[in-house]
Amino acid sequence: IWDSQSNPSIPSWMWTLLLLEAAPELRELRILDLNPDPSTVPERDRVRLFPGDVTALSALSAALGGAGAVLHSAALVDVWGRCSPEEVAKVNVLGTKNVIRACRAAGVPVLIYTSSMEVVGPNTRGDPFVRGDEETPYPTRHSEPYPLSKAQAERLVLEANGKPVAGGARLVTLALRPTGIFGERHPLLELFYRRGRGLGGRVPRTLPHNAEHARVYAGNVAWMHLLAARAARARPASVGGEFFFCYDASPWAPYEEFNLLLLGPAGISGGPRVPPKLSALLAWFNGVLRAVLGRFGVFFAPLLNPYTWAVASTPFSVRTAKAERELGYRPLFSWEEARERTAGG
């Protein structure tokens, strides 16, 4: 069973296609979503749709009976302040607690959680993390609701490893930490494309040239989830309770430069370079303006704020040697194929 909620990074149709095509042993795929779309589902005889909300334990209980594994990617992704901290925590933390409770009550033996690189960083101080791995030390500091909620949820999942489930088995849990995800119909990429077209096809570059980031194709993220579920069933003692960075062969590059690699075939190119200090000042100003307007009940949630600037401007790239070693992970889609599929999506 796969649950999704308010998480646009890996669309439901991609999960469905990949799981059905790459997992011939899969007898039935159940999708729990706020608004499942039957038009995106092939092989309806192997797929069941469950409209529901992870904050409602009853919806999970109805979907999980007899399931062999749960892939839990439901999340409220908000780094712009569009939702209250309470709303973010309700979905990401309470929802995860409910998933764990429902798995244990239904006797589900495997739970794979879609975490995030942001449970580690970048931190707001701008400390770099360059091609690090799961053992690389980093001064993690959470000040925003989204990364804080993801860190709390990941901890809940990993602490649930080994807990008894109905029927006498023990729950095996893993957490995967994708870097910045890209892929077909990604809403942020579509927004950047529209803005680029509005600027005549040339996008100003605002980030430091050394702000290297790792990005990962959504299809490879879904593929690692499938491999993680298989490993959890085959080698629970060695992989249970572990976390893994999730990356592929996409080039390391600053966010803007990487987006240009994806959007270049659509006619978007790099424009003039804006001094990073000016962008940092604008991010700070947006943060102050948001706080002031909020006191008067005025909603203001720009894409650029102190947190998103810290994330985008801080070098943060990872390696996946642990996933290769423990899960047998190799990217299913090459960089060239991922780029082509994204541009054509």
Query: What burial class does residue 169 get, using C-beta atoms within 10 Å of its C-beta: 0-12 exposed, 13-18 middle, 19+ buried?
Result: middle
To which residue do tokens 């990401």 refer?
A: 92
Task: Tell me the residue type at 122.
Answer: P
Cis previous bond, 122, omega within 30: yes
To which residue do tokens 């706080």 refer?
A: 291
Phi/psi for 3 (5° steps) reads -115, 135
* DSSP symbol at 117: G
30: enclosing H helix or E strand: strand 29-33
Q: Specify whether 255 is catalytic.
A: no
205: enclosing H helix or E strand: strand 202-205
Dmax (CA) for the chain in angstroms is: 63
> What's the sign of the alpha-carbon dihedral 312, 318, 320, 322?
negative
335: enclosing H helix or E strand: helix 335-344
Catalytic residue among 113, 146, 247, 307: 146
Centroid of chain to Cα 153: 13
Residues noted as catalytic: 146
